[in-house]
Structure 1
Amino acid sequence: MTKKQPLKTINWGIIGLGNIAHKFATDLLTVEGANLYAVASRTQQKANEFASKYNAEKTYDSYEALAKDKNIDAVYIATPHALHKENTLLCLDKGIAVLCEKPFAMNSEEVAEMIAKSKAKNTLLMEALWTYFLPHYQYVLNALNEKKYGKVLKLEADFGFYRAFDDASRLFNKALGGGSLLDIGIYPIFAALSTLGTPKSMEASATFFENGADSSCTMQFEYENGAKANLKSTLLEDTPTEAIFYCESGVIKINGGWFSPSTVTLIPNEGTEKTIDFGYKTIGYSFEIEHFNNLLRQGKTESDVMTFAFSEELISTLDTVRKIINLDYS
């Protein structure tokens, strides 16, 4: 019996140490062959506190200093949306692989620049849209591809939660890409694009906070084959956060928190309803981390799941919706 070879350890750095970075670091510690090596914040104290909590070896009080560390294999970028392009280019320039939190950047032009840099440097780059890698979502994709209940007639997907408006919060800061669309509206759009593909037409409407950031966005996509997608994001109310695929002979429903570890309910037109539990043991970021680590070990420069083409289509769709609702971040 051949002995299993140990995995090459991937030394990770994290840039931007907000809430999502804490979740990512928690899961990184569960992944075999992954090491949280360095973290960077704009203040040394915040970097020290984060490093102490997750046993990172190095701390930096600037992103530039972290990017100069030659021991880093990969960087997770968890800064506000408006900084994604700048931070990604900084790391790619140093030949460091980048996993950049969604949305990839503020618009299609920025994303094109990031992808061009990745190709020029022959260095791995991927948008961190964790949902794509979750087992329950992969299960649903397979069920839809295999036409378990025939073709999809309609998708309904929402993501909404209530937050009291706070002008000082990144979530509401329009200059940083705050508002419902880029922060959470990206998820229902992702569900439509990853299952139904490119729509033939789009309609959208939105409400806005006083500072111009969008407080809610409702979208309708129509497809050449007659399928429809009704999508919603909002910061004004808690919504069911479900993704429901109405098919010819049944319904496939991803239950509450559909974009994160969840359960899937199968509802055939004839037969017994069944709910599948996927037995998640982590927050859910571990799956994209494992995928990214494997790409890096194999010398790949692009994901075969979260491809450049898909990221380009996703940001292009977001650009189109913004144009329809007259949302201008500049």
Structure 2
Amino acid sequence: MFKLIIMCLKSRSNKSGVRCYQNRPSSISRSDGRRSRFGFVGGDIGDQNMWRSRPRQIHINRFPPSSKVDLRAALPKAVQGSKGEWAVDEGPTLRWGIAPVSLMADDFAAALSVLPEQHHRIVSCVAAYQSHALAFAERHQVENVYTSFEDLAKCPNVDVVYISPLNPQHSELCHLMLNHDKHVLCEKPLCMTEEQVTKLLEKARARGLFLMEGMWPRCVPAYHYLRHQILRNRLGELQNVRCSLGLPVSQGRLGLYGGVTSDFGVYGMQLALWVFREVPRSLKVSGRVNSEHVDIAADIELCFTRGKRAFIEVSAERKLSNQAIIQGKNGTIKMNNYWCPTRLITEEVDFEFPLPGGDQVPPTHYHNRLGMCYEAEEVRNCILKGSNESDDFSHNESLLLANLMDTIHAELGVGEIADRKQIPDLQRQIEKVQDIVEDPEELASETCRVVQDVSSGTLETKQQEEEAPPRSKAIDAP
């Protein structure tokens, strides 16, 4: 009888849910006695935990076709569904303002074009030169054109604003839009310091408005499938994440974007947080700054519990491999162009996640930027639910990322780091969180397709088969 009971317990299904990690970060003191909740630069980030104790759905974003683009022609049959039709929800259309017109804004408009017209519409845009704003409005059928950010903020027809100016201007523009009761999607980095991020998040919460840092890789199908593989223990016990991102950038332009850590390094750090789902216990950094005290290269190591490590190399002087490798004891997954991946590479097979739109959508200025359509739909879903933040990239993760950047800048001697007050005992436990995977045995076949059997080869032999590198004509190529 006892043996029978044991056999029954072992045969029980795991489909009800898969538990994620629980982390209890230790208090790491600085040499000057200052501490923060995360163990780095001192600063109070409030009472909320980084990952709260609520279920999170692991899903792949799938969208119905608009009248302009037939998505079914661009997606594998496994993704189209048995009925061959896509239902459009009856929720209101999200009306976007663009502040300001830019190459990234052009790509964002292209990404919206592959979504249902009933879901998204650009109604206003702003540029310093009226001719630029009018040209953008003509390309994307925009009704209202402004040359003043304040005029766009006052526009009564705008629900949410997409913000993509130079990085140091993000904070000011976000405050302006929130002050006029506009929801905000702001390109990364949200602000240049943790103190600025804290004030911005406090305002969004106080006014009941949605605010999201535009970490759009978090919303793409490849990232969600990566999480699914980790939760099902496909890689075994996680060991390390290694990623690099390097593109030659002029020193003058790099200064306008706040340095290589703010512009490139954030992609590797957010990936490490997505993989390990815990607060780093410490970090190590080395790098180079130019005569203007702007960081031009950095090697960052994040240290997590149980010996897990993330190694991040970024450079504005030379091109690097621009790939990420996630390694566990039982397997490895590689992503080329990991800030906009459409393929996951393992030792056995490659998994491809085609972008919607196919050849019918004009090419974007930056590589794979059509993937922002997943981010735009996440913004709409959150606003319709009345949420002021996204589970894909939460407010507390924006705070943590800003904290890490402050620490790296302080260690490298970048710019001026504001003096911070000593605040006692800011350590908080990260509460247990449960990730739920519905029908996990079927999820793989529904969300991607196997494009190549490479069981006879090795991981490194596939590096030449990946997408072309992003264009280097502008600093923010990722």
Over residues 190-211 of structure 1, what are the superposed CA-to-partner deviations in whole Å (9 max), with x where a residue is unaligned?
Answer: 1112212222121111112332
Q: In the alignment, which residue of structure 1 is the partner of 2:351?
A: 276
Aligned equivalents of 1:158 and 1:84: distance in 2?
Answer: 25
Q: How does 1:160-179 map to 2 (within 5 A)?
A: 160-163=246-249, 165-167=250-252, 169=253, 172-173=254-255, 176-179=256-259
Q: In the alignment, which residue of structure 2 is the partner of 1:74?
A: 160
Does structure 1 residue 246 correspond to structure 2 residue 337? no
Question: In 2, are the aligned partners of 1:29 and 1:36 still within 8 Å (CA)?
Answer: no
Q: Which ranges of structure 1 fall in alignment gaps of 5 or more residues?
A: 268-272
- Secondary structure of 1:284's aligned partner: helix
Over residues 257-299 of structure 1, what are the superposed CA-to-partner deviations in whole Å (9 max), with x where a residue is unaligned?
Answer: 11103210122xxxxx110111112521000000001111222
Question: In 2, are the aligned partners of 1:160 and 1:238 still within 8 Å (CA)?
Answer: yes
Amino acid at match of 1:275: D
Q: In the alignment, which residue of structure 2 is the partner of 1:105?
A: 191
Q: In the alignment, which residue of structure 2 is the partner of 1:295?
A: 382
Q: Which has the higher contact order (CA 8 A, sep 6+)?
A: 2
Paired residues in the alignment total 316
Aligned equivalents of 1:284 and 1:329: distance in 2?
Answer: 35
Computing the radius of gyration from Cα coordinates, the structure with the larger value is 2
Regions of 4+ moved over 4 Å: none
Aligned equivalents of 2:127 and 2:297: distance in 1?
Answer: 31
Q: In the alignment, which residue of structure 1 is the partner of 2:145?
A: 59
Distance 1:281-1:118 versus aligned 2 partners, 3 A rule? same
Question: In 2, are the aligned partners of 1:157 and 1:243 still within 8 Å (CA)?
Answer: yes
Q: How does 1:95-174 map to 2 (within 5 A)?
A: 95-163=181-249, 165-167=250-252, 169=253, 172-173=254-255
Query: Which stretch has the larger CA shift, 3-12 or 32-41?
Result: 3-12
Q: Structure 1 vs Structure 2: percent identity of aligned residues?
A: 26
Q: In the alignment, which residue of structure 2 is the partner of 1:183?
A: 263
- Secondary structure of 2:406's aligned partner: helix
Question: In 2, are the aligned partners of 1:103 and 1:127 still within 8 Å (CA)?
Answer: yes
Does structure 1 residue 208 correspond to structure 2 residue 289? yes
Which of 406, 409, 419 is residue 319 of structure 1 equivalent to? 406
Aligned equivalents of 1:327 and 1:288: distance in 2?
Answer: 31
Residue 86 of structure 1, CA deviation = 0.8
Residue 81 of structure 1, CA deviation = 1.3
Q: Which ranges of structure 2 fall in alignment gaps of 5 or more residues?
A: 1-86, 358-369, 418-478
Aligned equivalents of 1:160 and 1:207: distance in 2?
Answer: 14
Which of 319, 339, 355 is residue 259 of structure 1 equivalent to? 339
- Secondary structure of 1:321's aligned partner: helix
Residue 329 of structure 1, CA deviation = 5.1
Question: In 1, are the aligned partners of 2:295 and 2:412 still within 8 Å (CA)?
Answer: no
TM-score, normalised via structure 1 length? 0.92
Residue 166 of structure 1, CA deviation = 4.9
Question: In 1, are the aligned partners of 2:342 and 2:354 still within 8 Å (CA)?
Answer: no
- Secondary structure of 2:404's aligned partner: helix
Distance 1:23-1:193 versus aligned 2 partners, 3 A rule? same
Question: In 2, are the aligned partners of 1:77 and 1:100 still within 8 Å (CA)?
Answer: yes
Distance 1:285-1:329 versus aligned 2 partners, 3 A rule? farther
Measured on the aligned residues, the alpha-carbon RMSD in Å equals 1.6
Distance 1:5-1:286 versus aligned 2 partners, 3 A rule? closer
Over residues 205-262 of structure 1, what are the superposed CA-to-partner deviations in whole Å (9 max), with x where a residue is unaligned?
Answer: 11123322211111111222111111011111111211101110111111x2111032
Greater share of strand: 1
Amino acid at match of 2:352: D
Q: In the alignment, which residue of structure 2 is the partner of 1:235?
A: 316
Query: Which stretch has the larger CA shift, 258-267 or 116-125?
Result: 258-267
Aligned equivalents of 1:4 and 1:262: distance in 2?
Answer: 25
Q: In the alignment, which residue of structure 1 is the partner of 2:91?
A: 7
Does structure 1 residue 93 correspond to structure 2 residue 173? no
Which of 360, 367, 373 is residue 286 of structure 1 equivalent to? 373
